[in-house]
Amino acid sequence: MSGIIEIDHLVKKFEDFTAVDNISLDIKEGEIFGILGPNGAGKTTTINMILGLLKPTAGKIRVNGMDVNKHHEQTRSMLGFMTQETVVEGDLTARDNLWLFAKLYHVPEGEIEGRIKNALEESDLMNFSDKKAGTFSGGMQRRLALVKAMIQRPKILVLDEPTTGLDVQNRVRMWESLRELNRKNMTLIITTQYLEEADFLCNRIAIIDHGKIKAIGTPSELKKMVGTGRILEIVLNSKEDAGNVVKVLKGSFKLSPDVKGEKILCPVDSSRSDILTKILGELDRKKLRVASVNLHMPTLDDVFIKLTGSGLRDTADNDYQGSGMNLMMRGRR
């Protein structure tokens, strides 16, 4: 089955660094597709290639059956994009912001006025239409950015971390808007660092790390990868104790723990409800101190940590993140 976006063996190399390493996936029309991954995993690079901002080193991207690099005029009009850096023009009024992009997307002259009016109503900015966007609050700017990204009525909306930096009210409101758009059969592609956001919004999720797809599926399919039961999470005061704790878990309780630094994750069968107190008692007898213990249903966080590890990523790789200007000057430093 072919999707509205087909990514076929996509590779992007920056000099000798491979940012995207042979990714293939289909995004179906009308779904909300989430792309998760640590910083520097290749999310933004992938999105930039879908948008036609970067040329793939190898592989193809088809949007609605058309190659992005051969038919960019058509494919670009089908794609709307909202960046993580809330791009509205601070010196222009809300109305001028919308007008500018309506013109650049070649919206027919007769429709521009109507679409601007619509967009202002949808974003609840009717009363601020002639105020400079730079004077708006973060939430207002984000609302304006969202309707601006859709002024050309795209089939697909790409959102790069749509709620980063928003307060709770604005975040909930943004989620509602996105759901509403999706009900109108808009395909959404979302990258996010908030895993509960992905869990809440997305029909399917791909977890990317080191330029490769680690897992792809619905949120519940992904959670099953960690186990059907619950997750026991033990955080230690120091790494040195990890070996002993693991020994206890393996030996006395026949569990298969997974050590990630000071954190030990361990799937537990849901029938063993009294296991937590027993483990704590055993650890206490062996004088092994723990900082915190938690027994919970699997979340996307567990999947994420299982697949990508818990080490920090935003170090050297970040140079190739492609956000903002790094994109422009890649390979020329």
Which chain residues interact with other proteins by CB under 8 A?
Answer: 51-55, 72-74, 76-77, 79, 81, 83, 85, 87, 89, 91-92, 96, 100-101, 103-106, 132, 324-325, 327-330, 332
Q: Which residue's CB is nearer to other proteins, number 85 or number 221?
A: 85
H/E element holding 206?
strand 204-209
Strand locations in 237-286, DSSP E? 258-260, 263-268
Q: Which is nearer to other proteins, 158 or 231 (CB)?
A: 158
Nearer to other proteins, 34 or 80 (CB): 80
Residue among 308 and 321 whose Cβ is closer to other proteins: 321
Cβ contacts of residue 43 below 8 Å, gap of 6+?
35, 36, 37, 160, 191, 208
Comparing CB distances to other proteins, the nearer of 159 and 207 is 159
Q: How far is CA 110 from CA 71, 114, 115, 116, in A?
A: 26, 8, 10, 11
Question: Which of 16, 73 has the CB closer to other proteins?
Answer: 73
Measured between alpha carbons, how far is 215 from 140 in angstroms, rounded to an integer?
Answer: 35
CB of 54 to other proteins, least distance (A): 6
CA 273 – CA 295 distance, rounded (Å): 10
Nearest-approach distance from CB 84 to other proteins, in angstroms: 9
Report, in Å, the least distance between residue 68 CB and other proteins: 11
First and final C-alpha spacing in the chain: 42
* Cβ-contact 60, 10 below 8 angstroms: yes
CB of 226 to other proteins, least distance (A): 36
Rg (CA), the chain: 23
